[in-house]
Amino acid sequence: MKNLLSILLAAALCNVPALADQSGTGSDGVHVGKASALRNLVPAEQLERAAGQQYLQLKQQAAEKGALAPDSHSQVQRLRAIAQRILPHASRFNARAEHWKWEVNLIGSRQLNAFCMPGGKIAFYSGLIDTLKLTDDEIAIVMGHEVAHALREHSREQQAKGQITHGIAAIAANMVAGTKYGGLAQFGIQGAADLATRKFSRDDETEADVVGLDLAARAGFDPRAGISLWQKMGAANRGSAPPAWLSTHPAGRDRIQEIQHHLPEVMPLYEATRRRS
């Protein structure tokens, strides 16, 4: 049944028409190809509008708790200064980003987290910066990674893939219902669907790492900071991370290897920017 699920999913993916899109595949920098055609199954404007509403609610809730840092906060100014250098390069990977209403805010929380919602809504949690004592270069790597998720429209893609995967799993489960080992087979089918969904997420994380390196390097931030960043994250999360194949995120050592693999592509971008500054 797991093989059947894989075959049906592959067929579904192949039947989605390709879309023209900017992919950052110029003569320099990283090469990631076109964004998934599956994202067309989820309307971009609808997702971005919903994300904007969620972001506004998050800010309001943080403000009510006194956790939303004011514009005058030194760390807010620091984050926005880094964003001002990164965001001019965003349209290389998504032309629609030129029309997004970008925002960057800081929320007081011990969480080691940051995100960029569809449509360019960025938030950092103070715990990430303070606990890991992030340098500007390391913040740029995090920001580049989160911005890359929005540019590559991973939320749209994952929604579409999740709908297809679990829809196919439901069909396959109905096919074995009532058979001798139907209950066990249905359990296995659902497990295969869940693992496939995690794999989609890990693939998006890897792509965001790579695109984020490119963005940071073009903005004049040292992409080698990605190595020290994940060393710090590894130390902070030691003993609490699940096996990489069961996680929605790749293991830290895998991310470091991927960064090292792409450094020859992005270091010339960084060095060229530094020479011009």
Each domain of the chain, given as residue ranges in start order, spans 44-276
Q: How far apart are CA 126 and CA 182, in angstroms?
A: 49
The CA-atom distances, in angstroms, between 161 and each of 63, 96, 152, 182 are: 35, 22, 15, 25
In 3D space, the residue among 275, 131, 132 whose CA is nearest the CA of residue 217 turns out to be 275
Distance (Å, whole) CA 139 – CA 83: 10
Q: Assess whether 146 carries a catalytic annotation.
A: yes
Catalytically annotated residue among 103, 146, 157, 258: 146
Average pLDDT over residues 112-129: 95
**Model confidence band, residue 198 (pLDDT cutoffs 50, 70, 90):** very low
pLDDT in tens, 33-91: 777 666 666 677 888 898 899 999 999 999 999 999 999 999 999 999 999 999 999 99
State the pLDDT confidence band at 120, using cuts at 50, 70 and 90.
Answer: very high
Question: Which pairing describes strands 121-125 and 114-117: parallel, antiparallel, or unpaired?
Answer: antiparallel
SS (H, E, C) 164-186: HHHHHHHHHHHHHCCCCCHHHHH
pLDDT at 107 over 80: yes
* pLDDT value of position 59: 97
Residue 208 has pLDDT above 80, yes or no: yes
Residue 265 banded pLDDT, cuts 50, 70, 90: very high
Q: What is the pLDDT of residues 9-34, one digit of tens each?
A: 444 444 443 333 455 556 788 888 77
Task: Select, from the ranges 183-187, 201-205, 220-224, the one with the highest average predicted confidence (pLDDT).
Answer: 220-224
Within 8 A by CB and 6+ apart from 138, the residues are 132, 225, 228, 229, 232
Please tell me whether residue 106 adopts helix, strand or coil conformation.
strand
Q: What is the pLDDT of residue 218?
A: 98
What mean pLDDT do residues 211-223 have? 98
- Which 3 state secondary structure label does DSSP give 17? coil
| Tally of CB atoms within 10 A around 273 | 16
DSSP 8-state class, residue 239: T
Is 271's pLDDT higher than 60?
A: yes
Query: Which percentage of the chain shows pLDDT scores above 70?
Result: 67
Q: What's the chain's average pLDDT?
A: 78
Edge-first strand order for the sheet with 114-117 is: 103-107, 121-125, 114-117
pLDDT tens digits, one per residue of 148-190? 999 998 777 676 555 545 444 444 445 444 444 444 334 333 4
Return the pLDDT at 23: 58
Contacts of 51 (CB under 8 A, 6+ apart): 117, 118, 119, 121, 155
